[in-house]
A and B are shown apart, each in its own frame.
Chain A
Amino acid sequence: MHNPSIDGARHVPAEDAPAKVCGELRYATDLTRPGLLHACLVLSPHGHADVLDIDATEVLALEGVVGVYSHANAPDTPYCRYRILPGQPGCIDDEALFARTVRCVGDRVAAVVATTRHAARTAALRLPVRFRLKDVLLDAEAALADGAPPIHPGGNLVHEFAHAATCDGVPAGTGITMQSDVATQMLHHAALEPHTCLADWDAAGRLTIWSPCQSVYGVRTVVADLLQLPYSRVRVIKVPMGGSFGGKQEAILEPITAFLAMRSRRPVQLTLDREQCVRATMVRPAQRSHVRTVTSRDGRLLELEVDTLLAAGGYASSSPDYAEAMAKKVTRLYRIGRYRHAGRVAYTNTPVAGGMRGWGAPDIATCVEIHLDRVARVHAINPLELRRRNLVAALDVDPMSGMSVGDARVGDCLERGAQAFGWANRFATEPGSGRYRRGVGLACGAHKNGMYRPDSPDSSSMTLKMNEDGSLDLNATIHEVGAGSLPTLRGIVARVLDVPVGHVSAGEADSETSPFDFGCFGSRMTYVCGAAAHAVANELLGLLRRRAAALLGAEPSTLVPRNGHLHAPDGRALSYGEVVVRSRMADGSDLIVTHTYRARSNPGSYSVQFAGVEVDTLTGLVRVTDMVCTVDIGRALDRTRVEGQCRGAIQAGIGSALCEEVRLDEAGRPASGGFRSYHIVNAADMPPVTVVLVEHEGDDGPFGAKSVGEIAAVPTTAAVVNAVNHALGTSLSTLPLTPERILEALDAEHHP
């Protein structure tokens, strides 16, 4: 295999960057079609209720209104928005287009279709709906209590599991037992682009959906199954996306928009406002974990047990898999004598929960890392030293998955990060006793590289075609989320074939024309799809060499690709374009290959982060002063992009530590408004972040690269919480650390 190296210091802007910065890129909300209709949803104001009747007569008479749909005139087939493949395990079909029984505030009751956005909205606000209220269960514990009224007919327990693993290298023995309870809150993904979808139904009976989604094939499966259409009649086109962070991973608006277009026989656009995005899309689940450890005198983890209770919200969606994912992270990070993780997932009358950036990894890291800081305190060990004694090393086998952690360099992350941060001195510095207290915290995190497991494959198919001028078209199911998947894959192909990146074109996912791929999630873009691009480019190069060798009468393996030419040892050279044209004219052969790449490993990806904070003990406000983010990146293909991923992840992680929360009142209603009541960190509050990349080449990613977008989001929250606890001498573990919670903890300390 031809395997040149890559220069990560060079930033290759995305092809659409000029259009983006000039306002010329068309996002889904900017698209229009002749005869476009607009839809507006009627959402439940109640957390739990039966929909008794909906009287559409008056609303249908309003100017511009074309149709009103509800359970009374729509299919009620249950489906699972999270499904990608038919028959996929872990998918629970419990949701319908419109609810007969609403199960959370924000559940879909009806939709109005009208000729203008304004008319649709006005009509939706005026649609009379009668409800019969039912008891509301907001808490997973309450939902699972004996005698709790069932939210779905089968009861409130959606899923439960218990996994265990033992690690041979850890000596048995007795030690100190400690327990903590850590609770993380519901989060809004807060992509700046609201949820939106456009669908059209043509005279030939074909549905086309334009969606800023993360899986065109997943959307196709859900929509086609629900509307009983052959898969080939549902075409899903990924359009530019204004951020997702997992919030657009599942088919939320596509099924309903498709249905409305099919019924109206006209194109329909559905865009949510921000308040609707908070209530009626997905939140990161609230979960509570009980963490128990037994540690030896010298700080080795003899036992670690986690008991997780997770609130799925009104529908199961991805919550069962999400909770399971939480159990698969800790043994990739630490050598633990005995690890046990039990989990339960419960229906609750809260907004539907589902995957978010990191997919369980930030949640479990938050629980375990906050707990470990307490352990360090009790053992009087430096928190850094406690991690150092327990971290995995390269080539360890994760006992939970049976897979190698690969060339894991989390230890290097710890040491280099500590140095960049000045950990030793800063940790030894007293927090102070005045109004402002300073503290430092660190946390480690582990995640994955794709979805490969020995018992479940991960693969990606791509087609690469060379044109008569030597330029290339990569046809792959790519979902650009803004992180740079397209330029990254184009860059990989360009590097293998040694052509300028501008000579490689690649479009985005289109279920009608691009080959199958699961989608953009699971930290698989670089490690799996990038490796697929690398492999397809190598296969094309092999073909190119054979054709050129025939033309030159040379041995294929002696031909060297350089600057768009194949060079023979005797000094002769052929441009790629010449090879294509001459082969085509000689015997009609073509330079096109399709390759299905099957992942064969799934090493750990790692990040260790360090935070400095200053806490105002008078107001309870926390200021994060600085952070260091280390990532075991393998190889940074584009350092600018990698740093951008790290900093964006930290913005969200600080928010989840300190201020972000979808807060409900006692009836289950989220606070009104969107960003008015859901605060994300702005530029003024964002601390400087130093990014330290640990580079090496020991795994199967393209040029040695591993994932970054999710892992960078894993330890941030715990690092910030640990810094606050260090500053105040507290053990705060219910998130977010609002000023009220901080003042309460300080109060308890003064008046125990």
Chain B
Amino acid sequence: MNLEFILNGRAVRLEAAADARLIDLLREPLGLTGTKEGCGEGECGACTVLVDDRPVNACLLLVMHVAGRSVVTIEGLGSAAAPSTLQQRFIDLGAAQCGFCTPGMLMSATALLWRNPHPTRDDVREAIAGNLCRCTGYDAIIEAVLAAARDGVAP
């Protein structure tokens, strides 16, 4: 199919198989390898991207469902040279150990801060409940999200 959608704020138009998974489209033809595949079955959240500002598992979503929508991936938040506030908090507080869950975590947490700039600790735990992490025990991640919320600037 001829697919048109907004990716990280820019219009893209390309030819894609309608039944391809969004994660494969992002990682291969588009080269956005920041989105990770941890399970491919919608259970780990490593592949989380935002579709119209809502967190979605890119390993389950078929590309036809993003036609005409806005998709934000980890590459759309900030760059190593200029990280977003939330990304900077992840760095400062040691919230990324191996870092494989991190892009997905950041997408879920960013979506949370967009819709709720002053979350409680439980709001954060709930928002990242679908993102598994084997390294951190989640505490540093939760602290980083709360610290970014305290910073008060856009995540």
Contact = CB atoms under 8 A, between A and B. Distances in A.
Interface of A: 11, 13, 16-27, 29-30, 189-194, 240-243, 245, 273-274, 481-484, 640-641, 643-644, 646-652, 673-676, 680, 682-684, 686, 688-689
A248 B94 CA distance: 23
A57 B106 CA distance: 47
A251 to B, nearest CB: 20
B115 interface: no
Interface in B84-108: 87, 90-103, 106
A652 B81 CA distance: 34
A27 B96 CA distance: 14
A245 B40 contact: no
Nearest to B79: A22
Interface string B17-55: 000000000010000111111111101101000000000
Contacts of A482: 96-99, 135
A656 to B, nearest CB: 12
Interface of A, helix, strand, loop or mixed by DSSP: loop
A427 B32 CA distance: 53
A648 B129 CA distance: 16
A29 B46 CA distance: 13
B140 A640 contact: yes
A328 to B, nearest CB: 26
Instruction: Kindly name the residue among B94, B97, B98, B125 whose own CB sees the greatest number of chain A CB atoms within 10 A.
Output: B98
Contacts, number: 187
A641 B93 CA distance: 9
Contact of A648 (B35, B46, B77, B135): B135
Given A648-B137, A684-B126, A26 B46 contact: no
A651 B39 contact: no
Given A193-B36, A482-B135, A682-B132, A22 B98 contact: no
B129 A684 contact: yes
Given A13-B92, A640-B93, A644-B94, A684 B125 contact: yes
A196 to B, nearest CB: 10
Contact of A17 (B27, B96, B134, B139): B96
A593 B102 CA distance: 38
A192 B129 contact: no
Contacts of B100: 27, 191-193, 242-243
Interface of B: 27, 32-41, 43-44, 46, 73-75, 77-81, 83, 87, 90-103, 106, 124-126, 128-142
Nearest to A678: B43
A279 B36 CA distance: 21
Nearest to B17: A118
A9 B125 CA distance: 26
Given A18-B81, A20-B102, A192-B134, 5 more contacts: A22-B74, A23-B32, A192-B100, A193-B100, A673-B41
Contacts of A689: 137, 139
A619 to B, nearest CB: 19
Contacts of B81: 18
A19 B101 CA distance: 13
A242 B140 CA distance: 17
Contact of A193 (B38, B73, B129, B140): B38
Nearest to B98: A482
25 contacts: A11-B92, A13-B92, A17-B91, A17-B96, A18-B87, A19-B80, A20-B99, A21-B95, A22-B79, A22-B80, A190-B132, A192-B46, A194-B38, A242-B100, A274-B39, A274-B44, A644-B140, A648-B97, A650-B137, A651-B137, A652-B134, A674-B39, A676-B43, A682-B130, A689-B137
Nearest to A674: B39
B128 to A, nearest CB: 5
Contact of A13 (B33, B91, B132): B91
- Which 5 pairs show the lowest CB-CB distances between chains A and B? A23-B34, A647-B137, A242-B100, A482-B98, A20-B99
Contacts of B98: 191-193, 241-243, 481-482
A412 B97 CA distance: 29
Contacts of A649: 137
Given A191-B134, A242-B98, A647 B33 contact: no
Given A481-B98, A675-B39, A23 B73 contact: yes
A192 B77 contact: no
Nearest to A27: B100
A646 to B, nearest CB: 7
Max chain A CB contacts within 10 Å: which of B36, B91, B96, B99? B99
Given A644-B137, A648-B137, A674 B43 contact: yes
Contact of A675 (B44, B78, B79): B44
A11 B94 CA distance: 8
